[in-house]
Amino acid sequence: MRRPGQWPLAAQLALAFALVTVLALGGSGALLLYQSSARLLAGRAESTLAWGQAAAGLAAEYWSDPREGMTLALYRFHQQSGIRPVVVDTDGRVVADVSSETPLLGERLTHPELQAALAGRTATGTRRLSTGEWVMYGGVPVVVSGEQVGAVLVAAGIGAVRDAQRDLLRQLALVAGAMAALAVLLGVLLARYLTRPLVRLRAAVARLARGQLDARVEPGGSSELRDLGHGFNRMAEELGRLDQQRRAFVADASHELRTPIAAIRALAEPLLSDRPIDVAVYKEHLHDIVHECERAGRLVNSLLELARLDMRAESRSQVSQAAEPIDLRRVAVEVVHALEPLAAERGVRLAILPGEPVMARADAHLVEAVLGNLVENGIKYTPRGGAVQVSVGVNVDGDRTEGGASLSAGSERAGAAERRRRAGGERDGAASQRPVAWIKVADTGIGIPKEHQARIFERFYRVDKARSRATGGAGLGLAIAAEAAARLGGRIHVASESGRGSEFTFTLPL
Ligand code: ADP
């Protein structure tokens, strides 16, 4: 048996409606019943006392002749009114009674109404007789020439009052029952109406659970349900987007891996020919094969690096915080040092500006991943004779670095991570107050046209495919840098002008 809290909403609403109706009707019915009975009884008491006064008047008039005159007068009174008066003396003994069935003459009566009347007051009271009949008694003093000589007890049937009460009660119960049934019906209808958007949402959730990522609902109903519907649609959209992204990623990765494999095959096949081949040709082909293998190796490494970063993003929604503080400047010096041979080979001057250490609690490997890719790009996309300059510093006025027109950018995933962080709220407000470390990588290279700047952080995105291929890039370097920056809680801004050079700024809240 399920608890009412687990019943379908329609049943819960119907029950609540029925309860409220019965309680409201019951309460007001009881009040009505009480009030009307009180009024009816009060009216009856008044008339009973009036009859009592009349009987007392007759008794006083004929007090000296109780047997004949008084009994006759009271008998006539009884004939007219249907009220049976009994007259007692000051001891409570009956001196006149009009009933022929059970004459009470000489008996002592002890009705409380009579006691009160003998004490000089008028009084009424209701009682149920042994016959089951409801009766109202009234006691009135009998006064002769200013002196109380006895009292009169009158009795009137009040069965009609009781019947009226019973009728009212029955009608009330009937109305309450009908209303409760109506309330149940209304509750069910209302619940159906209210839960229609929920039912639609449930169906959409089921479709989504079956893998139909295009499942959407038409938001409707109360504002909360509407919000829920919109929320569901946003969630489904995000899921679809992620799914699409993942598919595109796999397709791109396969495509990129196919290129070096095809090249290796094209280089190796001629070597299998039966015709004699010059050793120099052999060597040249093998050299190219090794080159293609290196390319494929680099690609696989990049893919692995991205996969690792993705896994970190999924396993920990929080920003990575290394326990040990590191000197960002020192990390930058090491990266520059490691890339000096590449710079020398390309005829590009590479330098890091001198400065103070900048301490931060951050994962050194992630910082290296960011800087390594930025500096390597600087070298790759700067023609011979150009320069790449790295500088490190701290800003106290928030995220913005100088150089106004810089553009915030991030990979699609980093963008989503950014949105999540912003949604988190507290981090953003705090970040704009906290000091921010920055590392700039500026080059005098070919620059990036404005229309490409927003997209260069996407996976496999390259401004100039042919040129990038020649330099060995698959368009993953900046995607890795942006992911690593996001894991550190930082961002990468780019400012660049085609033909004049680029400046990438990595900022990291301290
Ligand atoms: P790749 O491996 O092709 O270099 P990245 O993700 O590192 O891929 O960069 C994406 C694209 O952005 C590059 O193909 C290049 O066109 C452009 N880019 C990146 N850095 C620079 C830079 N310093 N100067 C000019 N263009 C750059």
Residue 133 pLDDT grade (very low, low, confident, very high; cuts 50, 70, 90): confident
Q: Whose CA is nearest to atom 25 of ligand 1?
A: 447
504 neighbors 403 (Cβ within 8 angstroms): no
| Cα 428 to averaged position of ligand 1 atoms, centre (Å) | 29
| Cα 257 to averaged position of ligand 1 atoms, centre (Å) | 19
Q: Compute φ and ψ for 110, nearest 5 degrees.
A: -120, 20
Residue 478 Cα: closest atom of ligand 1: 6
Nearest Cα neighbor of 362 from 209, 228, 188, 506 is 506
* CA distance linking residue 82 with residue 312, whole number of Å: 101
- Which segment of 24-28, 150-154, 482-486 scores lowest on mean pLDDT? 24-28
Question: What H or E segment, with its residue span, contains residue 408?
Answer: strand 407-409
Q: What percent of the chain is predicted at pLDDT more than 70?
A: 90
| Cα 377 to averaged position of ligand 1 atoms, centre (Å) | 6
pLDDT of residue 59: 93
Report CA torsion sign: 254, 257, 263, 268.
negative
Is residue 422 over pLDDT 50?
Answer: no
Q: Whose CA is nearest to atom 12 of ligand 1?
A: 456
Give mean pLDDT, residues 16-21. Answer: 87
Tokens 């040092």 found at: 337
Mutate to test the pocket of ligand 1, among 448, 465, 506 (most ligand atoms within 8 A of CB): 448
Taking only the tens place, the pLDDT of each residue in 290-339 is 999 998 999 999 999 998 998 887 765 555 555 578 999 999 999 999 99
* CA distance linking residue 211 with residue 249, whole number of Å: 19
* Angle separating helix axes 223-268 and 412-424, nearest 10 degrees: 150
Cβ neighbours of residue 469 closer than 8 Å, sequence gap 6 or more: 462
Whether the model clears a pTM of 0.85, i.e. scores above it, the answer is no
461 neighbors 416 (Cβ within 8 angstroms): no
| Cα 463 to averaged position of ligand 1 atoms, centre (Å) | 7
| Cα 383 to averaged position of ligand 1 atoms, centre (Å) | 14
Tell me how long the chain is.
Answer: 510
C-alpha separations of 107 from 96, 114, 141, 153, 156 in Å: 10, 13, 18, 13, 21
The answer for 129, left when phi > 0, alpha when psi is -120 to 50, beta otherwise, is beta
* CA distance linking residue 256 with residue 28, whole number of Å: 81
Q: State the first-to-last Cα distance of the chain, in angstroms, to the nearest integer.
A: 57
CATH code assigned to 213-314: 1.10.287.130
**436 forms bridges with which residues in the sheet?**
395, 509
Q: Compute φ and ψ for 75, nearest 5 degrees.
A: -65, -45
| Cα 342 to averaged position of ligand 1 atoms, centre (Å) | 16
Query: Which residues line ligand 1 at a C-beta cut-off of 6 Å?
Result: 373, 377-378, 381, 443, 445-448, 456, 461-464, 468, 473-479, 502
Tokens of 34: 């009480």
In the chain, where the domains are located: 4-163, 213-314, 323-509
96 neighbors 89 (Cβ within 8 angstroms): no
Tokens of 310: 């993705």
Taking only the tens place, the pLDDT of each residue in 363-394 is 999 999 999 999 999 999 999 999 999 999 99
Residue 477 Cα: closest atom of ligand 1: 7
For 503, how many CA atoms within 13 A lie in the half-sphere containing its CB?
17
The mean pLDDT value of the chain amounts to 86
pLDDT of residue 183: 86
pLDDT of residue 316: 59
Radius of gyration of the chain (CA): 52
Q: Whose CA is nearest to atom 13 of ligand 1?
A: 462
378 neighbors 450 (Cβ within 8 angstroms): no
**491 forms bridges with which residues in the sheet?**
507
Give the strands of the sheet with 501-509, arranged side by side.
349-352, 387-395, 436-443, 501-509, 491-497, 407-409
| Cα 110 to averaged position of ligand 1 atoms, centre (Å) | 117
Q: Whose CA is nearest to atom 14 of ligand 1?
A: 462
Span 323-509 CATH architecture:
2-Layer Sandwich (3.30)
| Cα 460 to averaged position of ligand 1 atoms, centre (Å) | 10
| Cα 356 to averaged position of ligand 1 atoms, centre (Å) | 30
Q: Whose CA is nearest to atom 21 of ligand 1?
A: 377
Give mean pLDDT, residues 402-421. Answer: 41
* CA distance linking residue 339 with residue 323, whole number of Å: 28
Mutate to test the pocket of ligand 1, among 342, 376, 381, 498 (most ligand atoms within 8 A of CB): 381
Mutate to test the pocket of ligand 1, among 300, 305, 375, 377 (most ligand atoms within 8 A of CB): 377
Report CA torsion sign: 479, 481, 485, 488.
positive
* CA distance linking residue 496 with residue 463, whole number of Å: 13
pLDDT of residue 210: 95
Give mean pLDDT, residues 222-231. Answer: 92
* H runs (alpha helix) in 111-270: 112-118, 159-209, 223-268
pLDDT of residue 104: 83
Superfamily of the domain at 4-163: PAS domain (3.30.450.20)
pLDDT of residue 412: 43
Cβ neighbours of residue 291 closer than 8 Å, sequence gap 6 or more: none
pLDDT of residue 190: 87
| Cα 473 to averaged position of ligand 1 atoms, centre (Å) | 8
